[in-house]
Amino acid sequence: MEKLFIFIILAIIQGITEPIPVSSSGHLVIAKSLFGLQTTDATLEIILHAGSLIAIIIYFYKDIKDLVVLGLGYFIKPTKQKQPYFLYGLKLIVATIPAGIIGLLFKDTLEASLNSPKFAGGFLLYTALILFIASRIQPNKSSKEFGFKNALLTGLAQALALLPGVSRSGSTNAASLIQGYDVDTSMRFAFLMFIPIALVVILSGIPDMLSNPEFGSLFVPYMIAMVVSGVVTFYSIRLFKIILVKRKLHYFAYYCVFIGIFTILFIG
């Protein structure tokens, strides 16, 4: 029962901080340390991110359906109507490559970093820096199409977010905004590009999850935590869109500075 309570608290933290630009992984590392919860693998993190992934798929269901139906349909019957969706899908793949390569090459190192609060605290300061920079960029009110180079640059920002303390939504949206894209374009691309990398991380982590001796006994708490993470993530995405539109990213930069310094000095 105690672990279920801790898992639910961590799921709420994950759900809030996955879309909000303050680093979900960093906050999970800090929260686990405060609860005295030490894990030998990334089972809990994978479960919680699976909940967030499901929420993102539901929120962007129409975009995903168009990419699948029209984008893949381009292979069967190429048309001008389908071509933009096909190209958009290719750009998402390009954006996923950096994080995919780094995640596979440094899997063990990245998992070990999930138990280092001071490490997360240091990279929260990096998150604060990119949020400060993005908050100074004047909003682009007109929409322009993502190019392959833009997709790759945003993908590099996502690769850095594999480190605890680096906000994925913060770094990817900031990268898009800095490149001159409007809020809707930045947010849609940033969250859609999370889907393939999250699937890779979750699928590659399944063998470790199944070999975890506690997985069977904690299956129900894990599933409850996943549902809670998903529900909270869904509504946090809505809140994040309001934040982006109002250009209030600097408030989260202040928060990341405070939490980062506090973590470095007093936690872990």
Predicted confidence (pLDDT) per residue in 208-264, tens digit: 888 888 888 889 999 999 999 999 999 999 999 998 888 888 899 999 999 999 999
Per the structure, the complete domain to which residue 102 belongs is given by 2-266
User: pLDDT, tens digit, for every residue of 30-75?
Assistant: 898 888 887 766 788 899 999 999 999 999 999 999 999 999 899 8
Is pLDDT at 113 greater than 80 in this prediction? Answer: no
Spatial CB neighbours of 143, under 8 Å, sequence gap ≥ 6: 181, 182, 184, 185
The pLDDT of 116-131, averaged and rounded, is 92
Phi-psi map region of 165: left, alpha, beta (phi>0 left; psi -120 to 50 alpha): left
Q: Residue 100 to residues 41, 136, 161, 201: CA-CA distances in angstroms?
A: 19, 30, 12, 8
* Cβ atoms 117, 139 nearer than 8 A: no
Show the tokens assigned to 17. Answer: 């901080």
pLDDT at 141 over 70: no
Q: How does 145-178 read in b/e, with b if 16+ C-beta sit within 10 Å?
A: ebeeebbebbbbbbbbbbbbbbbbbbbbbbbbbb
Question: Is a pLDDT exceeding 70 seen at residue 166?
Answer: yes
Q: Pinpoint the alpha helices (H) of the chain.
A: 2-17, 24-35, 43-59, 61-66, 72-76, 83-105, 107-113, 117-135, 148-160, 168-178, 183-192, 194-211, 219-246, 249-266
Average model confidence (pLDDT) across the chain? 89
Nearest to 39 by CA among 13, 11, 7, 2: 7
Report the pLDDT averaged over residues 169-174.
Answer: 92
Structure tokens at 174: 């900031």
pLDDT for the residue numbered 201 = 80
How big is the chain, counted in residues? 268
What is the average per-residue pLDDT within 178-204?
Answer: 89
Mean pLDDT of 142-148: 76
Mean pLDDT, rounded, for 20-32: 89
Domain count, the chain: 1
Q: Which of 160, 170, 132 is nearest to 17 (CA)?
A: 170
Q: Following CA atoms 220, 19, 28, 58 in sequence, which dihedral angle do they give, to the nearest 10 degrees?
A: 10
Place of tokens 């990119």: 130
Predicted local confidence at residue 139, as pLDDT: 62
Q: What is the pLDDT of residue 93?
A: 93
Is the model more confident about 116 or about 139? 116
- Residue 163, C-beta contacts closer than 8 angstroms, at least 6 positions apart: 25, 110, 113, 119, 123
The average pLDDT across 144-150 equals 85
pLDDT band at 190 (very low <50, low <70, confident <90, very high): very high
Tell me the percentage of the chain whose pLDDT exceeds 70: 96
Q: Of 1-5, 108-112, 145-149, give the lowest mean pLDDT range.
A: 108-112
Q: What's the confidence (pLDDT) of residue 40? A: 65
User: Greater confidence, 206 or 15?
Assistant: 15
Coil/strand/helix, residue 70:
helix
Asked whether the predicted pLDDT for residue 16 surpasses 90, the reply is yes
Q: How many Å apart are CA 32 and CA 44, to the nearest integer?
A: 10
Q: What is the pLDDT of residue 38?
A: 74
Q: Inform me whether the pLDDT recorded for 142 exceeds 90.
A: no
What is the C-alpha to C-alpha distance for residues 101 and 99, in angstroms, rounded to an integer? 6
Query: If you compute the radius of gyration of the chain from its CA atoms, what whole number of angstroms results?
Result: 18
Both tokens of 143, joined, read 């929409």
